[in-house]
Amino acid sequence: MLNKKSYSTEIAGKTLTIETSELAEQANAAVIAKYGETVVLATAVMGKKETELDYMPLKVDYEERFYAAGKIIGSRFIRREGRASEEAVLAGRLIDRTIRPLFDGRMRRDIQVVATVLQIDEQNDPEFVSLLAASTALIISDIPWGGPVAGVRIVQTEDRLLDEDGLHVNPDNSYVAEHQPIFDAFVSGSKDRINMIELGGLDAQEKEVVAGFKMAQQEINKLIDFQQNIQKEIGKPKAAVVLAEPDPELKSAVESFIADKLEAAVYRPNKMEQQSAIGKLKEEMFAHLKEIFDAKEKAFSGKAADYLFEEAINDLVHKNVLESEKRPDGRKTDELRPLSGAVGLFSRTHGSALFMRGNTQALAITTLAPPGAEQLIETMETNGKRRFLLHYNFPPYSVGEIGNFRGPGRREIGHGNLARKSLERLIPTKEEFPYTIRVVSEIMSSNGSSSMATVCASALSMMDAGVPIKKPAAGIAMGLMMEQGTGDKGQGKFKILTDIQGPEDHHGDMDLKVAGTEDGVTGMQMDVKVDGLTIEILEKAFEQAKKARLEILKVVKATLPTHREKLSPFVPTIRQLKIGVEKIGALIGPGGKVINGLIEKYNLAGIDVDEDGGVFVSGSDLEKVEMAVTEIKLITREFKVGEIIEGKIIKTLDFGAIVDLGGGKDGMIHVSELKQGFVKTVNEVVKVGDFVRAKIIRVDEDGKIGLSLKQMQ
């Protein structure tokens, strides 16, 4: 059926299968990849003609389908997939960042790669399958591309059963959940090269991370060979596409005009001066070129001239770093920009901090809320709650531009996720600190590495709010200048740069962000503009990044060495207690009557109950919170035979008296248990309003409690 062809190999003890067929036959290529019981369809489509754009128009989409997990989710009225979840955005970015460097940047045809998840087994991550399917679709298609690529998940745990370093390739999700990882990474790249990294952990050691990457590279190489064998059998000849090449006459005119002017414009001490000088030079160049081409009655392309201008900056920055270690702002290759931090900036926010590195400024605000403010996560892969939220905003004014505010884009989501991942393992447990924590990073000014400035500012902001994080954290962005045009895929001369900014970020060959504490790495992300990097380059970059991180941590700790002992008076008070799971129903009451009644009675912010019987009472008035806690204890109190209780008589009957036990519960003293000997009437022993001490002599299954005064005599 559908002329299906199937190819299989083994990765981490599991079978990986690639299938091609006539399915999605109108795409340039389509592939179905299976790993375990996770199944992904990847398609690759290229436009029929070149566009007028001045960049390579690549689009990568990762499509979640709830049926893949056997779920129907969404709002009550909308039961279909809508806007991509953050998880889907991040998965799409992962694929994009891996495949993009291997396209020729001069291509101008629209290209779209779509990974659609058809089935997940909850054990094998679809990102691994999706990347491999996308790569295979591209290499067997007629779309020009420098792949294949592949990636694997590498996890280090304390469990040393599979590897002496505790390293595991593509472990099951259930295994990772049971063994708190030292680090959990996704590493991808081409043959003998790594070009994309995502990592989160707690105090991972650089040398062990490198060992993990070496293991990943071995598995990646196997997957490259596997794909190349498929390509040899069924791959299509690559289409001839027109590459954007500038007019030689225009190129010569641009180079001639800026030859003795460009370095003076680019090499400035700060971003504002640099932008002003570059902008002025570009305007002068455009006017000069227009005059020349008008005189020759020839058309002049501003886009082409701008491209050539940027290429000239690229060549200049590379040349000066590689030949003389000269950076645009005059720093040494391992030198940080000026650092500073401040906390307690606002009187009514729960915590605030500003962290500055050169012209990059991150303002982080922390808000603490009751557990009920946790974010509900309901996606194709996961259902759960998140109590630590970190959101990153990049307003247009941060780079001196005008723009629209339309919510976070892929970049904002990716940067916020990296910062959250770098800090989440430092967050105290719910039992230690029963608050939902939200940090918002507002980038006030950006000149490189705003996500790592966010890590620093967020750590300070949380400490300012009184969050007892395990230890302070900081982050640094590392760059790379590699010898151009060597044709040896990155084996030529290179220089690693600490704390990249401006042209180094835009024109550099690597953006490696490393966050961590004094004791190790907590987060990492890497993108490259070249085919990939060797392990040797990564080792040197990690070593240089660690030195910088420790320097930054000194500034963070000098700003605020540890968390504040007292919370802001504007933070809601939370008291927690534990009740038996079987008592949860009694606390909630029919239709929530009991718990809602308590919230209203004591004017509380909320009462949150977890499935293990943890109860969190929150409100602005400490006295009322304590009163609510006392009543909850009474409502959920477990009475035992032999226990002595105290209470008021609230009712007398012919056969006994009813005692109020508090929390809406009562017990009965049968007439035979009022006193020794014969009792003529109940009222001769006790009356309504009397305060008595009695012994519990019976607790029935239906909750009825029998009391005795006689046994107290």
Query: With bands split at pLDDT 50, 70 and 90, how would you rate the model's confidence at 487?
Result: very low
Look at residue 358 in the predicted model and tell me its pLDDT: 93
Look at residue 488 in the predicted model and tell me its pLDDT: 44
Q: Span 248-324: which CATH code?
A: 1.10.10
214 contacts 176 by C-beta, under 8 angstroms: no
Q: Helix or strand or coil: residue 342?
A: strand
Look at residue 1 in the predicted model and tell me its pLDDT: 67
Look at residue 534 in the predicted model and tell me its pLDDT: 93
Neighbours of 401 (CB within 10 A): 8
Determine if residue 175 is left, alpha or beta; phi over 0 gives left, psi from -120 to 50 gives alpha, anything else beta: alpha
Average pLDDT score over the chain: 91
Task: Indicate the range of 351-355, 383-387, 426-430, 487-491 predicted with least confidence.
Answer: 487-491
Neighbours of 530 (CB within 10 A): 18
Taking residues 242-265, what's their average pLDDT? Answer: 89
Determine if residue 358 is left, alpha or beta; phi over 0 gives left, psi from -120 to 50 gives alpha, anything else beta: left
Query: With bands split at pLDDT 50, 70 and 90, how would you rate the model's confidence at 6?
Result: very high
- Per the model's pLDDT, the better-predicted residue between 268 and 479 turns out to be 479
Look at residue 563 in the predicted model and tell me its pLDDT: 97
Closest to 528 measured CA to CA, from 86, 64, 100, 88: 100
pLDDT per residue as tens digits for the range 342-381: 999 999 999 999 999 999 999 999 999 999 888 887 777 7
pTM for the whole structure: 0.88
441 φ/ψ angles, rounded to the nearest 5 degrees = -100, 120
On the question of pLDDT at 383 being above 90, the answer is no
| Residue 22: DSSP 8-state | S
What is the rounded radius of gyration, in angstroms, for the C-alpha atoms of the chain?
Answer: 33
88 contacts 40 by C-beta, under 8 angstroms: no
Look at residue 160 in the predicted model and tell me its pLDDT: 56
Closest to 711 measured CA to CA, from 638, 698, 701: 698
Under CATH, what is the fold of the domain 573-635? Ribosomal Protein S8; Chain: A, domain 1 (3.30.1370)
* Residue 475 token pair: 């982050």
On the question of pLDDT at 671 being above 80, the answer is yes
194 contacts 187 by C-beta, under 8 angstroms: yes
**Can you give the length of the chain in residues?**
713
Look at residue 491 in the predicted model and tell me its pLDDT: 53
Q: Helix or strand or coil: residue 159?
A: coil
Closest to 19 measured CA to CA, from 47, 41, 45, 36: 41
What proportion of the chain, given as a percentage, has pLDDT over 90?
Answer: 64
- Integer Cα distance of 505 and 511 in angstroms: 7
pLDDT per residue as tens digits for the range 617-665: 999 888 999 999 988 888 888 888 888 888 899 998 888 899 988 877 8
pLDDT per residue as tens digits for the range 54-109: 889 999 999 999 888 888 877 666 777 778 888 999 999 999 999 999 999 999 99
Look at residue 117 in the predicted model and tell me its pLDDT: 96
- Per the model's pLDDT, the better-predicted residue between 419 and 669 turns out to be 419
- Integer Cα distance of 5 and 234 in angstroms: 10
Q: Helix or strand or coil: residue 354?
A: strand
Q: Helix or strand or coil: residue 659?
A: strand
pLDDT per residue as tens digits for the range 534-557: 999 999 999 999 999 999 999 999
Closest to 583 measured CA to CA, from 627, 630, 637, 629: 637
- Asked, colleague to colleague, whether 5-234 and 339-559 share their fold, the answer is yes
Q: Are strands 388-393 and 436-445 parallel, antiparallel or unpaired?
A: parallel
| Residue 120: DSSP 8-state | -
Indicate the class that CATH gives domain 5-234.
alpha beta
Look at residue 484 in the predicted model and tell me its pLDDT: 64
**Is the peptide bond preceding residue 144 cis, with omega within 30 degrees of 0?**
no
Neighbours of 286 (CB within 10 A): 16
- CATH architecture of structural domain 644-712: Beta Barrel (2.40)
- Amino acid identity at 415: H
- Integer Cα distance of 25 and 114 in angstroms: 14
Look at residue 298 in the predicted model and tell me its pLDDT: 75
Q: Are strands 665-670 and 705-708 parallel, antiparallel or unpaired?
A: parallel
On the question of pLDDT at 297 being above 80, the answer is no
Look at residue 489 in the predicted model and tell me its pLDDT: 45
Indicate the class that CATH gives domain 339-559.
alpha beta
What proportion of the chain, given as a percentage, has pLDDT over 70?
Answer: 97
Taking residues 259-265, what's their average pLDDT? Answer: 90
* Residue 119 token pair: 């089935």
Neighbours of 31 (CB within 10 A): 30
pLDDT per residue as tens digits for the range 96-113: 999 999 999 999 999 999
Q: Where are the domains of the chain?
A: 5-234, 248-324, 339-559, 573-635, 644-712
Closest to 115 measured CA to CA, from 15, 10, 45, 190: 45
Closest to 292 measured CA to CA, from 256, 255, 253, 259: 253
pLDDT per residue as tens digits for the range 152-182: 999 999 875 555 678 999 999 999 988 889 9
Taking residues 576-592, what's their average pLDDT? Answer: 88
pLDDT per residue as tens digits for the range 688-709: 989 889 898 898 877 788 898 8
Q: Hey, which bits of 338-473 come out as E strands?
A: 339-343, 351-357, 360-369, 375-378, 383-386, 388-393, 436-445
